[in-house]
Amino acid sequence: MIGTLAEKGSSFGGNEDNITLIPITKFFENYGSRERSLNIAIEAKNQIVYDRTMGIAIGAFRVSRGLRPEEANDFEIYSNDSLSGVFRSIAATVRIGAFVISAIALVAAGVGIMNIMLVSVAERTKEIGIRKSLGARQRDIRTQFLLEALFLSLFGSVGGIVLGVLAGNGLAVWLQAAIVFPWGWAIAGVLVCAAIGVGFGLYPAHKAACLDPIEALRYE
């Protein structure tokens, strides 16, 4: 029997229309049946039919493999539940790896922000002395430099979110998948980066706030 299947189009970068189906007996006749691994996909209408179909399939496989009742299965069965479990396991491993890499990257970024702010304090020592001589308090200087560190970290977080969304949605368009914006992750990223900026900006801000105004005015 020869026929043409309905068009399915492409998905995930592959074209499902470039497929040819032949009877398995003809395949064995042309290409041999030794050292072959077969995959059989079965779909059930509901859970009741699924459970009954699973039992019938296992029995049929055992009969075809010539297994005795006391012998274990020498074939693999993958269901939606088992595939979901494997996917969750892989996702958990990837999540742990991503967390470790992200933590290292955040610490490195925080150290970079602290170095930038220390250089800024050194370059603006005279400015700090002038502000203090005009009545600026330590908390005013500290707040100023903390806000600058916070701005640097937020600027980096927004840039990272924009690049990540563009890259992710670009890949989704290429794979013909749904385009989404991860609001939860974006908000979490902004909050974490804000905390990194404030945390690593505390020391430079404190150093700037504690400068002696007379020594700062003499600084060249």
pLDDT tens-digit profile of 119-140? 988 888 888 888 888 888 888 8
List the domain boundaries for the chain: 86-218
Tens of pLDDT along the chain (220 residues) come to 566 777 777 766 667 777 788 887 888 888 887 777 777 777 777 777 877 888 888 888 888 778 888 888 887 777 766 666 777 788 788 888 888 888 898 888 889 889 998 898 888 888 888 888 888 888 888 999 999 999 988 888 888 888 988 888 888 788 777 777 888 888 888 898 889 888 998 999 988 888 887 777 776 6
Q: Report yes or no: 129 and 216 within 8 Å, Cβ to Cβ.
A: yes
Contacts of 101 (CB under 8 A, 6+ apart): none
Strands (E), 26-140: none
On whether the CB atoms of residues 123 and 154 are closer than 8 A, the answer is no
Residue of 210, 208, 199, 209 whose CA lies nearest to 113: 199
Rounded Cα–Cα distance for residues 3 and 112 (Å): 65
